[in-house]
Structure 1
């Protein structure tokens, strides 16, 4: 079988990398196609992964919704055209990705497409509007709302991050963490995002402010070291806290952190998968089903709306006072893992037409 896997973001490589390996081990042919964004190309090059590149993603410019939509539509058309030529030449049996282009091109060539998404329809509306009508299948967690496309949904009891952070496929290595920081001391990670993703097209969302980051650093520094990873440009006074790291090693560093504080949805979920105590602080809180489940059912993260900065500082202090914090989160993680699936195995069986029940 020939499978085309489309990657739009570095996180997508992590999502599919174990599936790609498993398929190749069973003598299936896998074609990797990318929309080069952030460090995706560098990550693939370092992993010696062969790929075909469609376009270079451009940084999103400021503007009104209409201008942003126009820019997105132009990019979609360009990707569709370039992917069309690849598919016409390669003739894959099936296409997989978190991607609009494979849905469009798959419809033209009548090739089954599996669109993976764990954002609710209302949260990532633009992507869903352009993608779901053309997709053959939408593969999402049980708790994820796919709007009026329930008839296309293939659901699973799990999370996308477990495709690469499930203990069966990822073992945190303290020696790797030691390359970047003093693991003998307590350390805390702060993650900042740019809020330029597709689910923030209206530019209405925000997270950690400069003044709040200063307060966090002052509080956390009293008991450990503080490190910052950031999508957005850091001001000079924060540069000394920047975690300079090879991106492929970030999960090893995350796994041993004493606390993770972020305005990122994705990395908060990763911290939860690793059982790391975490706080998410942004205006998306309460709006995303997967994160709501992590916070409310399993207690693996705390979600706080950024309208209430004092609540963040209070929560941080409460967590720091708990001497058994990491053990409590390990127990919560064990409960979560006992109830969720190994997503890589699920994806493999799905593509190979094996029973997924």
Structure 2
């Protein structure tokens, strides 16, 4: 069983689900109605059962968590899976423990970053295994195993993702037209509470400055101001990665999309208040080791950097070389996860004995 609580989880798990089903496994999908989760699942033709709907504040989130526990209990009891795999979800961990179902949760960040609600104590004591990234500087004890990749490589590794050039035409552009993407998030998830990105004034300035050089499209979790509606993304959500691949630059206050751009070889500028304050190590690595992204907490600096990069004619060629270097270091995350879950007990044990066993899933990148 796969439990999906965020749009990024749909992408993270989709290739795992397809490959397991091809191998004859039966996969049940439980889904939280958050942002475009259900639209994405529908677009990929997945069958799923809704477990809860996203809350808008801490009280709503608390009520939702209770509902999620109850719904998951019924689904897991009836389906009786051999294994449940999810994001870092307290409901999956706790219900799995109650029903004695083995559980793996995936963590791409330290659980102690968010002090309230304290998510770590709600998950770690109850779960069987925490799968995390080599960049996450946190000790999950005997339950933790680390993989040397980014979660975005589960769906954007060259072995899994082939960009569709038709997205350019769908966006109303000609083949050789350069364009930029801007992403604004709602910052309403539990891990985003108290965070901030671009405000109204800096959004307006950013779009005006970029538009003076090339076409710009906006992807936004929340309703755009009327003045920015004409820039709204012209393609369906499941095609966003094709558009990122072909764009010259991404500017965002998003966490996930910055890394998606990086692994696709598109320069990314990430700007939010998390930069420099308990920031995730994957962003530091992508900036300091691979030079694929830029991280700013000051919107003015982010805008200036965007304008500087847009003036570089060989920008995408430079970034493709950086991307190649990164891909040669990292593993194919989907291939690794298939290997892990098909013989879960033995392979978790093997990973704890010898973490280098995962490097059989490195790929030669042309």
TM-score (norm 2): 0.89
Match of 1:95 among 74, 84, 93: 84
Q: Does 1:229 align with 2:229?
A: no
Q: Does 1:323 align with 2:313?
A: yes
Match of 1:10 among 3, 7, 11: 7
Q: Does 1:77 align with 2:66?
A: yes
Distance 1:190 1:77, change over 3 A: same
CA contact (8 A) 2:251 2:268 kept: yes
- 1:226 Cα deviation (Å)? 1.1
Q: Does 1:291 align with 2:280?
A: no
Q: In structure 2, the residue corresponding to 1:13 is in which secondary structure?
A: helix
CA contact (8 A) 2:170 2:234 kept: no
Equivalent residues in 2 for 1:191-270, closer than 5 Å: 191-201=183-193, 203=194, 205-270=195-260
Instruction: Please give the alpha-carbon distance, in whole angstroms, between the structure 1 residues aligned to 2:201 and 2:177.
Output: 26
Q: After superposition, what is the alpha-carbon deviation per residue over 1:66-96, rounded to whole angstroms, capped at 9, x for unaligned?
A: xx2x433332222111111111111111100
TM-score (norm 1): 0.91
Partner of 2:335: 345
Instruction: Please give the alpha-carbon distance, in whole angstroms, between the structure 1 residues aligned to 2:37 and 2:300.
Output: 37
- 1:218 Cα deviation (Å)? 2.5
Instruction: Please give the alpha-carbon distance, in whole angstroms, between the structure 1 residues aligned to 2:75 and 2:223.
Output: 36
- 1:301 Cα deviation (Å)? 0.3
CA contact (8 A) 1:146 1:153 kept: no
**Which deviates further from its counterpart, 254-263 or 176-185?**
176-185
CA contact (8 A) 1:161 1:270 kept: yes
Q: Provide the alpha-carbon RMSD of the alignment.
A: 1.6
Instruction: Please give the alpha-carbon distance, in whole angstroms, between the structure 1 residues aligned to 2:145 and 2:133.
Output: 8
Distance 1:86 1:10, change over 3 A: same
Instruction: Please give the alpha-carbon distance, in whole angstroms, between the structure 1 residues aligned to 2:203 and 2:72.
Output: 42
Partner of 1:184: 176
Q: In structure 1, the residue corresponding to 2:28 is in which secondary structure?
A: strand
Q: In structure 2, the residue corresponding to 1:199 is in which secondary structure?
A: helix
Q: Does 1:27 align with 2:24?
A: yes
CA contact (8 A) 2:202 2:300 kept: no
CA contact (8 A) 1:103 1:131 kept: yes
- 1:124 Cα deviation (Å)? 4.2
Gaps of 5+ in 1: 62-67
Instruction: Please give the alpha-carbon distance, in whole angstroms, between the structure 1 residues aligned to 2:221 and 2:312.
Output: 30
Q: In structure 2, the residue corresponding to 1:29 is in which secondary structure?
A: coil
CA contact (8 A) 2:178 2:247 kept: yes
Partner of 1:64: none
Instruction: Please give the alpha-carbon distance, in whole angstroms, between the structure 2 residues aligned to 1:117 and 1:228.
Output: 28
Match of 2:292 among 296, 300, 310: 300
Instruction: Give the count of matched residue pairs.
Output: 341
CA contact (8 A) 1:123 1:288 kept: no
Q: In structure 2, the residue corresponding to 1:159 is in which secondary structure?
A: coil
CA contact (8 A) 1:124 1:199 kept: yes
Q: After superposition, what is the alpha-carbon deviation per residue over 1:206-237, rounded to whole angstroms, capped at 9, x for unaligned?
A: 11122222222232122210111111221111
Q: Does 1:135 align with 2:127?
A: yes
CA contact (8 A) 1:132 1:138 kept: yes
Partner of 1:278: 268
